[in-house]
Amino acid sequence: MDAKIVYTEFGKAAVDKFLEEQKELLEKNIYKKKYVLGDEEIEISASDINNYKKKMNSKKRLSFFLEIFTLIGIIILGIGMLYPFLLNMMENSSLQFIFIALGCILVIVGGFSLLYLSQKRLVKEEEIEDLR
């Protein structure tokens, strides 16, 4: 980033509140994982924080795969509902069927390409954050 970033008073307060909430979330998560009956204090190491970060990243990837799963389900549902119509069209008007099939294939390939590129962008953003 070349431009200088300047926070307003309310912007600074919002960032501080956001960071505090994230810190509390991190502490609660690690506390649940590391607490043993009788412990007086829980030590949080860099490894604990990195593991938490990996856990959050894996949730993003799971979300991506669930989107793909849902899209495939919608496609199968649509084909199943339109099957008699498509079968009739294939028998009576093969040219129209070819155009519709090619259009569907292009939409599917385009949709999966967009999902792939968005996932790739998320991974690159995570790599950049890891380098900081």
Residue 129, pLDDT score: 67
Q: Give me the tens of pLDDT residue by residue for the chain, a chain 132 residues long.
A: 578 888 899 999 998 998 898 888 888 888 888 877 887 888 888 888 888 887 776 767 777 777 788 888 888 888 888 888 888 888 888 888 888 888 888 888 888 888 888 877 877 777 666 655
Q: Is the dihedral of CA 69, 74, 77, 82 positive or negative?
A: negative
User: Is-contact 7 15, C-beta < 8 A?
Assistant: yes
Domain regions of the chain by residue span:
1-44, 55-131
The pLDDT tens digits for 63-80 are 777 778 888 888 888 888
94-131 and 46-92 helices, crossing angle to 10°: 170
Does the pTM surpass 0.85? The reply is no
Count the alpha carbons within 13 Å of 93 in the hemisphere toward its beta carbon. Answer: 8
Euclidean distance between CA atoms 113 and 66, whole angstroms: 16
